[in-house]
């Protein structure tokens, strides 16, 4: 639940600080619009003082995908959710490729509000294929009190308020855009029909352009799915957002006037004219009656301008480790026995696909290639312990195993400042002593490319591509040039299929336990 604190009533005081001049969405000013219009408070993350963004573009022969997302501190829930939503949309885009042309998907994020209580973001995806262009937008709201990332429904006090705000949008479309009740689009039209059927609502005559009196239409609590009204918790907010899927309120922001502004596709609004977006207003007084406690905090944060301390508190996070693989097609590419002379070329290729990998390194090679380890850590890759010099641990005593693991951990720690989070035993050789002694999660694999045996680039690539599925851990060796040459084809094809390349720790997000053995995190 959102903590209850005092909020300023719009009935008493509505102010828009000097910062608002910087926050207006580019476009025409309200004075240039004959129809009702609202200016949304929004700012590119790249323009927010103290904020950091991650940005990547992956260009292939079949497509271009680009995305920018906020870096709000190590493990910040909003960064993870934004990246995961973008990744899911990217997968859907790639899975729908027709095989002709070179379509593009560009995703970006802007800031709607930022304070110690709440951070609001708008995610925008623009896809182009030939002369066709389509746009999707949605918003996410981080509640610092609960640590939850919530959909737009959490801005409203209950389901009655959600219903009511749709009726208010319907009123604007009917009164100012002269849309008949039967022509109102989607869920807005459904809400208006329910309002018109409420006792006391004015019946709309055939062809009459006047709108019914819907001032109290939602007052009976006729929620869309029939559930009783009440304060939202996080789970219920998501359920209600699912029930209202397709609502224009998925892209809701606060206006410079202190109300709400809702973006609609002009193709759904006949009479809107030659505009790129229809920005429907919900007046400040109307909005105040509908907002939740989180909604009041969000409105206050939007009107006050972003609090820079929100972005400076923890500093930018590493660019890896921010995807929820339980909801995505993820695969972990792992590389053993290095680092070596081909490892830098491998990382060059991984960078082209914004791919993170896990390197199980030999402690004896760390001093020879310290720059490679530094680069791995800087680019979001993960380093695992593969023993000091590739000895078979299953033939060693517990004391010798402990010494080997400690020596390798220390070598890695001396270069990158942290211990490896997992280990891989050479040859996959295990016994009870190994499991009880290594002190780290033990990562094996479910896709073995046998690259050390074949040394055939095409065979290695084909095996990895044909056997990988969501949750797979794929085994390569970066000491073999033939294996490194296979990675461009592996990345290209798995990327085209909508996979995301993550570290082992990220793949097993539910947690890894020391001494336990893991081969994959497949969803089946």
Active site residues: 336, 477
Closest to 77 (Cα-Cα) out of 33, 141, 8, 139: 141
Cβ–Cβ contacts within 10 Å for residue 458, how many?
12
Largest CA distance in the chain: 90
Q: Cα dihedral angle (300, 305, 306, 308), rounded to 10 degrees?
A: -120
Closest to 148 (Cα-Cα) out of 118, 110, 108: 118
Contact of 122 with 109, CB cutoff 8 Å: yes
Secondary element (H or E) of residue 82? helix 77-95
Contact of 173 with 265, CB cutoff 8 Å: no
Contact of 139 with 253, CB cutoff 8 Å: yes
Distance CA 322, CA 75 (A): 7
Cβ–Cβ contacts within 10 Å for residue 13, how many?
8
Q: CA–CA distance from 472 to each of 183, 287, 325, 476 (Å)?
A: 49, 48, 11, 13
Q: CA–CA distance from 109 to each of 88, 159, 162, 462, 500 (Å)?
A: 15, 27, 25, 37, 20
Distance CA 132, CA 238 (A): 32
Closest to 261 (Cα-Cα) out of 155, 136, 142, 116: 155
| 138: β partners | 123
Distance CA 301, CA 306 (A): 7
3-state secondary structure of 127: strand
Secondary element (H or E) of residue 506? helix 504-507
Query: What's CA 241's distance to the chain center, in Å?
Result: 17
Distance CA 430, CA 440 (A): 13
Contact of 89 with 273, CB cutoff 8 Å: no
């Amino acid at each position: 639940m959102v903590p209850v604190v005092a909020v300023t009533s719009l009935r008493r005081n509505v102010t828009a600080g000097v910062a608002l001049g910087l926050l207006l969405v580019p476009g025409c000013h309200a004075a240039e619009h004959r129809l009702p219009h609202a200016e949304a408070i929004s700012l590119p993350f790249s323009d927010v003082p103290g904020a950091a963004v991650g940005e990547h573009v992956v260009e292939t022969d079949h497509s271009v995908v680009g995305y920018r997302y906020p870096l709000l501190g190590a493990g910040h829930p909003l960064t993870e959710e934004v990246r995961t939503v973008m990744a899911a949309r990217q997968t859907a885009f790639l899975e729908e490729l027709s095989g002709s042309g070179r379509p593009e998907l560009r995703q970006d994020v802007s800031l709607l509000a930022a304070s110690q209580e709440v951070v609001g973001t708008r995610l925008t995806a623009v896809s182009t294929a030939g002369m066709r262009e389509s746009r999707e937008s949605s918003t996410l709201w981080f509640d610092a009190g609960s640590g939850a990332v919530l959909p737009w429904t959490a801005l409203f006090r209950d389901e009655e308020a959600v219903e009511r705000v749709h009726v208010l949008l319907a009123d604007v479309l009917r009164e100012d855009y002269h849309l008949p009740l039967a022509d109102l689009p989607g869920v807005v039209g459904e809400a208006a029909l329910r309002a018109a059927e409420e006792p006391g609502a004015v019946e709309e005559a055939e062809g009459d352009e006047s709108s019914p009196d819907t001032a109290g239409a939602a007052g009976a609590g006729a929620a869309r799915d029939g559930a009783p009204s009440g304060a939202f918790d996080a789970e219920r907010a998501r359920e209600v957002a699912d029930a209202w899927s397709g609502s224009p309120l998925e892209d809701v922001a606060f206006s410079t006037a202190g109300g709400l502004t809702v973006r609609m596709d002009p193709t759904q609004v006949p009479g809107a004219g030659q505009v790129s977006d229809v920005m429907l207003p919900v007046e400040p007084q109307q909005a105040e009656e509908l907002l939740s406690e989180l909604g009041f905090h969000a409105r206050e944060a939007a009107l006050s301008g972003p609090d820079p301390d929100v972005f400076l508190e923890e500093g930018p996070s590493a660019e890896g480790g921010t995807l929820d693989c339980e909801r995505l097609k993820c695969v972990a590419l792992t590389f053993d026995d290095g680092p070596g002379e081909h490892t830098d070329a491998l990382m060059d290729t991984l960078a082209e696909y914004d791919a993170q990998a896990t390197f199980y390194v030999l402690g004896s090679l760390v001093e020879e290639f310290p720059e490679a380890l530094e680069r791995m850590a800087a680019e979001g890759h993960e380093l695992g312990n593969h023993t000091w010099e590739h000895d078979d641990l299953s033939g060693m005593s517990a004391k010798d195993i402990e010494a080997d693991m400690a020596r390798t951990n220390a070598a890695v720690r001396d270069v990158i400042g942290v211990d490896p989070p997992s280990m891989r035993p050479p040859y996959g050789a295990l016994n009870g002593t190994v499991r009880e002694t290594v002190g780290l999660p033990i990562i094996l694999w479910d896709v073995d490319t046998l690259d050390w045996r074949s040394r055939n680039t095409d065979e290695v690539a084909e095996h990895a591509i044909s056997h990988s599925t969501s949750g797979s851990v794929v085994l390569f060796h970066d000491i073999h040039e033939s294996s490194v040459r296979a990675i461009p084809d592996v990345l290209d094809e798995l990327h085209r299929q909508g996979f995301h390349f993550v570290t082992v720790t990220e793949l097993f997000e539910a947690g890894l336990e020391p001494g336990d053995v893991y081969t994959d995190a497949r969803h089946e």
